[in-house]
């Protein structure tokens, strides 16, 4: 059976490559042959029993999410980039036995412009808007609708389209990947509890993806092809050195290749991998050189990035384990991601958000935390982000069984895609926060039991928190104080569904000629509990400064969906 699958895949690949893209047929055939060999070898050589949570008996809601956050600085670069922040989420939203429906979000944020190493330069994001995979045990075959967006945001330094990569594409593709190429699954099959300190691995993982461009803006492309191979060399205790090679082909009137090589060492903790790495890449960037959109030549640029990556998998085995004692490194990882539509709004059409929360270091009852996130509103005419807010939050928590108190610092960075409307706003906030533990990220269901024969349970479960903070070292954001109160009422449980109502009030005090303002919101919704949670919600909110500081305010109505993990 493996050999039949192998030869069938090679035959299909040769037909596709000869008929559709003949000038690359040899490269495509070789890549698929390599990946098929990898998958067959993995099936034959695998000695590990299949994880019982990989393939459920029936339906599973949000069974797993892979999370990766990395930050690095450029050692060699042919542009003005100085550093890169990347966040990658791979979410299996719904699974029925071997059928998986997933969403993937890969976002990159580049810093560095002439004269300022910390100024915003470029944003890119890749989204698998709707993906399907079939689980064959050690590998997947899938279909996906993919979208790539490049740099819809301007800055004080770059306030025009010239010499900026601003292309947007929608494409439909097929993919093949081994399970150990998925985010958070790279150590699949490696035994870190072995009595032997050293073990030669020689493990290969592979991924292949080909897609047809359906719609393109400011770029002339027909096909996208990508192949990736990773080789895990050996294991020494909890260290796994590896090398990863990626090749991307951009096919249009001309064909461009974008190779990259990454070398690093994964250090495996109980729930997290910490990976220092070096990555060389030769990127093909589509840059406008005139105001005529037709003239979009590709410019190849070489980069060498040195960075560190945090990566984890949240599933039934890894979401909430027993709390340990003593010093713990990354004991918890949580977050949320979602999208909502504005109802009858004259200014915005959609709202998206992404948040990844690391409880980084714990010595009970103390915890050092680090949260990172972004949210954006799209313009009224299309779904292109118009106002984007990046933020990081860090601080120290003192926790009890049901309550917590913490000190925090938030760094906010607001970016505007409208060239003539405003500059990028910066806001830094330091303060204190206290509340019930059910308001902390990932603790939405604290005190709620989904076990037992009861299908209905009256909960009347209340959680609340409040904070006070002072703004400092701001840019174009003239408020001094920030007071926030939030509360959530979990009404009842019916099977795995929890109706809830959440409300918040935010008072910002101005200084001098700046007036005080109040923002508030009410959000009723339904949480669907699986391994992780999905929520459908309606939200009414009153917001100030919707475009820029001192700008208009409005009442907004949204309906959306979000993943809670």
CA distance 530 to 532: 5
Whether 339 and 310 share a structural domain: no
Residue in this structure with the two tokens 């007071």, named with its chain if needed: 483
Q: Is the pLDDT of residue 52 over 60?
A: no
Whether 383 and 461 share a structural domain: yes
Q: Are 126 and 147 contacting, i.e. CB atoms less than 8 angstroms apart?
A: yes
pTM of the model: 0.84
Q: Which of 327, 332, 329 shows the shortest CA–CA distance to 357?
A: 332
CA 73 from centroid of its chain's CA atoms: 20
Which tokens go with 258? 């974008």
Q: Which of 186-195, 292-301, 473-482, 508-517 has the lowest mean pLDDT?
A: 292-301
Whether 89 and 199 share a structural domain: yes
Q: What is the mean pLDDT of residues 318-322?
A: 63
Q: Are 436 and 405 contacting, i.e. CB atoms less than 8 angstroms apart?
A: no
Q: Is the pLDDT of residue 299 over 90?
A: no
- pLDDT at site 418: 60
Q: What is the mean pLDDT of residues 61-77?
A: 92
Whether 38 and 123 share a structural domain: no
- pLDDT at site 22: 41
Whether 444 and 502 share a structural domain: yes
Whether 76 and 104 share a structural domain: yes
Q: What is the mean pLDDT of residues 295-303?
A: 74
pLDDT-based confidence at residue 132 (cuts at 50, 70, 90):
very high
Name the percent of the chain lying above pLDDT 90.
59
Residue 58 maps to a domain: no
Higher pLDDT, 159 or 218: 218
pLDDT in tens, 473-502: 888 788 999 999 999 999 999 999 999 999
CATH number at residue 451: 2.40.230.10
CATH number at residue 82: 2.40.160
Q: Is the pLDDT of residue 290 over 70?
A: no
Residue 57 maps to a domain: no
- pLDDT at site 35: 44
Residue 476 maps to a domain: yes
Higher pLDDT, 153 or 259: 259
pLDDT in tens, 382-394: 777 778 889 999 9
From 262, 289, 314, give the residue that closes a domain. 314
- pLDDT at site 109: 87
> Which runs of consecutive H residues, i.e. helices, occur in 183-317?
none
Q: Which of 382, 376, 381, 20 shows the shortest CA–CA distance to 168?
A: 382
- pLDDT at site 557: 98
- Mean residue pLDDT across the chain: 84
Q: Is the pLDDT of residue 315 over 70?
A: yes
Q: Is the pLDDT of residue 41 over 70?
A: no
Higher pLDDT, 152 or 482: 482
- pLDDT at site 318: 75
Q: Is the pLDDT of residue 6 over 80?
A: no
Q: Are 420 and 454 contacting, i.e. CB atoms less than 8 angstroms apart?
A: no
- Residue 515 DSSP class: P
From 287, 314, 341, give the residue that closes a domain. 314
Q: Is the pLDDT of residue 71 over 50?
A: yes
pLDDT in tens, 196-242: 999 999 999 999 999 999 988 778 889 999 999 999 999 999 999 99
Residue 232 maps to a domain: yes
Whether 359 and 276 share a structural domain: no
From 251, 280, 314, give the residue that closes a domain. 314
Whether 490 and 458 share a structural domain: yes
Which tokens go with 32? 């698929």
Q: How many domains does the chain have?
A: 3
- Residue 287 DSSP class: B
Q: What is the mean pLDDT of residues 89-109?
A: 94
- pLDDT at site 538: 98
Residue 349 maps to a domain: yes
pLDDT-based confidence at residue 417 (cuts at 50, 70, 90):
low
C-alpha distances in Å from residue 316, one per residue of 65, 77, 321: 10, 42, 9
Residue 4 phi/psi, 5-degree rounding, is: -65, -45
pLDDT in tens, 505-528: 999 998 778 889 999 999 999 999
Residue 246 maps to a domain: yes
Residue 117 maps to a domain: yes
pLDDT-based confidence at residue 426 (cuts at 50, 70, 90):
confident
- pLDDT at site 262: 98
Range ranked top by mean pLDDT from 25-39, 360-374, 542-556: 360-374
Q: Is the pLDDT of residue 292 over 70?
A: no
Whether 262 and 357 share a structural domain: no
Whether 492 and 345 share a structural domain: yes
Whether 140 and 289 share a structural domain: yes
Residue 124 maps to a domain: yes
Whether 77 and 164 share a structural domain: yes
- pLDDT at site 261: 98
pLDDT-based confidence at residue 419 (cuts at 50, 70, 90):
low
Q: What is the mean pLDDT of residues 412-421?
A: 68
- pLDDT at site 259: 96
Q: What is the helix (H) or strand (E) element at residue 7, kind and residue range? A: helix 2-20
Q: Which of 356-365, 389-398, 401-410, 545-554 has the lowest mean pLDDT?
A: 545-554
Residue in this structure with the two tokens 């803006």, named with its chain if needed: 217
Higher pLDDT, 47 or 360: 360
Q: Is the pLDDT of residue 37 over 70?
A: no
> Helices 25-45 and 2-20: crossing angle, nearest 10°?
160
State the residue range of the domain holding 249.
71-314
């Amino acid at each position: 059976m493996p050999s039949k699958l192998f030869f069938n895949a090679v035959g299909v690949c040769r037909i596709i490559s000869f008929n559709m893209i003949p000038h690359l047929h040899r490269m495509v055939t070789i890549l698929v042959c390599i990946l098929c060999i990898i998958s067959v070898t993995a099936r034959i050589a695998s000695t590990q029993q299949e994880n019982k949570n990989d393939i459920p008996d029936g339906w599973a809601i949000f069974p797993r999410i892979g999370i990766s956050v990395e930050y690095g600085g450029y050692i060699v670069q042919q542009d003005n980039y100085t550093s890169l922040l990347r966040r990658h989420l791979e979410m299996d939203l719904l699974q029925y036995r071997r059928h998986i429906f997933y969403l993937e979000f890969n976002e990159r944020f580049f810093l560095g412009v002439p004269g300022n190493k910390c100024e915003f330069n470029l944003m890119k994001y890749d989204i698998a808007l709707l993906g399907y995979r079939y689980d064959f045990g050690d590998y997947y075959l899938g279909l996906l609708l993919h979208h790539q967006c490049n740099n819809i945001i301007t800055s004080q330094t770059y306030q025009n389209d010239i010499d900026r990569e601003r292309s947007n594409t929608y494409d439909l593709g097929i993919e093949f990947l081994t399970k150990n190429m998925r985010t958070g699954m790279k150590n699949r099959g490696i035994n870190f509890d072995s009595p032997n300190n050293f073990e030669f691995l020689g493990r290969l993982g592979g991924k292949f993806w080909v897609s047809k461009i359906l719609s393109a803006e400011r770029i002339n492309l027909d096909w996208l092809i990508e192949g990736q191979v990773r080789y895990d060399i050996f294991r020494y205790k909890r260290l796994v050195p590896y090398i990863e090679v990626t090749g991307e082909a951009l096919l249009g009137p001309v064909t461009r290749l974008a190779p990259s090589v990454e070398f690093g060492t994964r250090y495996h903790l109980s729930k997290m991998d910490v990976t220092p790495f070096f990555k060389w890449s030769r990127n093909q960037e589509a840059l406008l050189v005139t105001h005529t959109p037709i003239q979009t030549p590709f410019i190849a640029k070489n980069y060498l990035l040195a960075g560190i990556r945090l990566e984890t998998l949240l599933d039934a085995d890894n979401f909430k384990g027993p709390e340990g004692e003593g010093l713990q490194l990354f004991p918890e990882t949580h977050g949320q991601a979602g999208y909502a539509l504005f109802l009858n709004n004259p200014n915005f059409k959609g709202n998206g958000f992404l948040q990844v929360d690391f409880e980084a270091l714990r010595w009970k009852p103390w915890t050092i935390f680090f949260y990172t996130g972004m949210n954006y509103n799209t313009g009224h005419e299309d779904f292109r982000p118009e106002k984007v807010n990046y933020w990081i939050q860090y601080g120290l928590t003192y926790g009890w069984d049901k309550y917590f108190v913490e000190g925090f610092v938030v760094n906010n960075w607001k970016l505007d895609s409208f060239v003539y409307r405003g500059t990028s706003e910066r806001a830094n906030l330091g303060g204190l926060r206290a509340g019930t533990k059910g308001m902390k990220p990932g603790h939405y269901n604290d005190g709620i039991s989904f076990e037992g024969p009861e299908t209905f349970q009256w909960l009347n479960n209340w959680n609340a928190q409040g904070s006070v903070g002072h703004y400092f070292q701001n840019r174009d954001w003239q408020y001094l104080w920030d007071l926030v109160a939030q509360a959530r009422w979990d009404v009842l449980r019916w099977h795995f569904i929890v109706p809830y109502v959440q409300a918040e009030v935010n008072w910002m005090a101005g200084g001098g000629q700046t007036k005080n303002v109040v923002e508030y919101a009410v959000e009723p919704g339904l949480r669907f509990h699986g391994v992780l949670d999905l929520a459908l919600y309606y939200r009414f909110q009153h917001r100030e400064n919707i475009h820029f500081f001192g700008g208009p305010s409005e009442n907004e109505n949204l309906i959306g969906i979000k993943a809670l993990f």
